[in-house]
Chains A and B, each alone.
Chain A
Amino acid sequence: MSEIDEKLRAELQRQGVWVTSMQDLYNWGRKNSIWPLQFGLACCAIEMIATAASRYDIARFGGEVFRPSPRQADLMIVAGTVTKKMAPQIVRLYNQMADPKYVIAMGACAISGGPFKQGYNVLKGIDRYIPVDVFIPGCPPRPEALLHAFMELQRKIDEQKLTGAQKAEHLRPEQPSEFPVPKFGEHDLEPPANRDVFQPPKLERV
């Protein structure tokens, strides 16, 4: 598990000896078979479908196995407008996914509410209720952008540690893997945002 000197590793490889660590092997396996949850919310889902189809072919990155059950999925691609009526279901689906799990917020709507931000029925970003790993702007983002986000997520998984103080969140029992499902309130969702997950950025005046 300890770190190997890169020069030594390269030298060994030249001699025909392949040395790796448990962590590298584990992360290499995980990052190359990310199973997304098969669901779409709006027009971004069409781009997601295009990404999965033959022209863009997300299978090149090991992400072609779209699972219709959250129990079998590693990645939630929030592709489209999240209405306030749909938000509790999204959070519930996320809660039902097994750890380790990742979220890509795809498109302007999923990251902020997008063009419908001022509407009475649109959630201003799914990051108000669940932690998001990669945000992709765009309306909708092109398949290349989704692939880029996918590669970014792979990079992120590759850097996750299995031991030590900096180890990955899903290996730390004190980190929550489920988040409260918002309730339908009389005027808005209750609560309007999960403050443990979402804090609005502070504006600094100088």
Chain B
Amino acid sequence: MESLEQIKTRAEAAVPGARIDIVPNPGPANQRSLLIDNEHALAVAHFLRDDPALLLDFCSNVTGVDWLDRVAKKTAKIKTVVDGVEKEVDQTTEEKIPGYLEAVYHLYSMTHKHGPVIIRMRTRDRAEGARLPSLTAIWRSAEFQEREIFDLYGIRFDGHPDLRRILMWDEFEDYPMRKDYAQPDDFEWEPTPHDEVLTRAKEHYTPRPQLDGAEEITATD
């Protein structure tokens, strides 16, 4: 299979106006992915599926990622004049990156037996702008998985044939896989609490009895 750079170049040539970025992966897997802009996502997906050299006809997995608001620190060396002497000083600039949600698609080719090619789409924000174009029209197998992302992350997929909750009940209002999801407080009985569960279970513990000085008495008294 051709490299991700080649795919990017050819896709951008095939779909005029498409903006595709390669997202690096600093982890040991080093599995990079293509970040596709939302406006041209359908056309790019069409290209990936139908291009004779790629034929990525199998969408094996669709999942979501929640990125909270974060601050990226950048350190740059700049030259300043300190006491008349020119010196190199490290300057740290903080850049605020607003949070967003991502949908990640893992694509394979049954015909050519290659893959995966991973594509991503990013929402504008984590609230009202959490919308993405649905790729169910390209890969039918994405239907339930996009519903699952809608259920657990709250991304609305435009053009999805049947966007309902799939695992949780319809009356449910939260998105449990988001990082800021607050669990309901049902920690009143935890036989083996640990870590965060212990902290939450402790709120239900009866308070310790008042100290009356008896605990100060030792065996030698």
Binding site for B on A (CB under 8 A): 84-85, 112, 118, 120-121, 124, 184-188, 192-193, 200-203, 205-206
Set A85, A124, A205: member contacting B186, Cβ < 8 A: A124
In the bound complex, CA of A188 to CA of B173 (Å): 9
Binding site for A on B (CB under 8 A): 167-174, 176, 181, 183-184, 186, 188-189, 191, 197, 204-206, 208-209
Residues B173 and A186 in contact, CB atoms below 8 Å apart: yes
Classify the interface of chain A: helix, strand, loop or mixed: loop
Residues B186 and A201 in contact, CB atoms below 8 Å apart: no
Residues B205 and A187 in contact, CB atoms below 8 Å apart: no
Q: Would you give 17 A-B contacts (Cβ < 8 Å), ordered by A?
A: A85-B169, A120-B174, A121-B176, A124-B189, A184-B170, A184-B172, A186-B173, A187-B174, A187-B184, A192-B186, A200-B188, A200-B189, A202-B206, A203-B205, A205-B206, A205-B208, A206-B209
Residues A184 and B169 in contact, CB atoms below 8 Å apart: yes
Q: Closest CB-CB distance, A129 to chain B, in whole Å?
A: 13
- Could you say which of B167, B184, B206, B208 has the most chain A C-beta atoms within 10 Å of its C-beta? B184
In the bound complex, CA of A184 to CA of B188 (Å): 20
Known: A192-B186, A205-B208. A120 touches B191 (CB 8 A): no
Residues A188 and B205 in contact, CB atoms below 8 Å apart: no
Residues B173 and A187 in contact, CB atoms below 8 Å apart: yes
In the bound complex, CA of A112 to CA of B170 (Å): 25
Contacts of B208 in A (CB 8 A): 205
Contacts of A203 in B (CB 8 A): 205-206
Given A120-B176, A192-B186, A202-B206, 4 other A-B residues pairs in contact with their CB atoms under 8 A: A124-B189, A184-B170, A185-B172, A200-B189
Classify the interface of chain B: helix, strand, loop or mixed: loop
Contacts of B174 in A (CB 8 A): 120, 186-187
From B173, which residue of chain A is reached at the shortest CB distance?
A186
Residues A185 and B167 in contact, CB atoms below 8 Å apart: no
From B197, which residue of chain A is reached at the shortest CB distance?
A118
Contacts of B186 in A (CB 8 A): 124, 188, 192-193
Q: Closest CB-CB distance, B153 to chain A, in whole Å?
A: 13
Contacts of B183 in A (CB 8 A): 120
In the bound complex, CA of A25 to CA of B191 (Å): 41
Set B172, B176, B205, B209: member contacting A186, Cβ < 8 A: B172
Residues A188 and B197 in contact, CB atoms below 8 Å apart: no
7 closest residue pairs by CB, A with B: A200-B189, A188-B184, A120-B176, A184-B169, A186-B173, A200-B188, A184-B171
Contacts of A193 in B (CB 8 A): 186
Contacts of A200 in B (CB 8 A): 188-189, 204
In the bound complex, CA of A124 to CA of B183 (Å): 13
Q: Closest CB-CB distance, A117 to chain B, in whole Å?
A: 8
Contacts of A184 in B (CB 8 A): 169-172
Contacts of A84 in B (CB 8 A): 169
From A85, which residue of chain B is reached at the shortest CB distance?
B169
From B186, which residue of chain A is reached at the shortest CB distance?
A192
Contacts of A124 in B (CB 8 A): 186, 189
Contacts of A185 in B (CB 8 A): 171-172
Contacts of B168 in A (CB 8 A): 85, 121
Residues A201 and B172 in contact, CB atoms below 8 Å apart: no
Residues A192 and B184 in contact, CB atoms below 8 Å apart: yes
Contacts of B197 in A (CB 8 A): 118
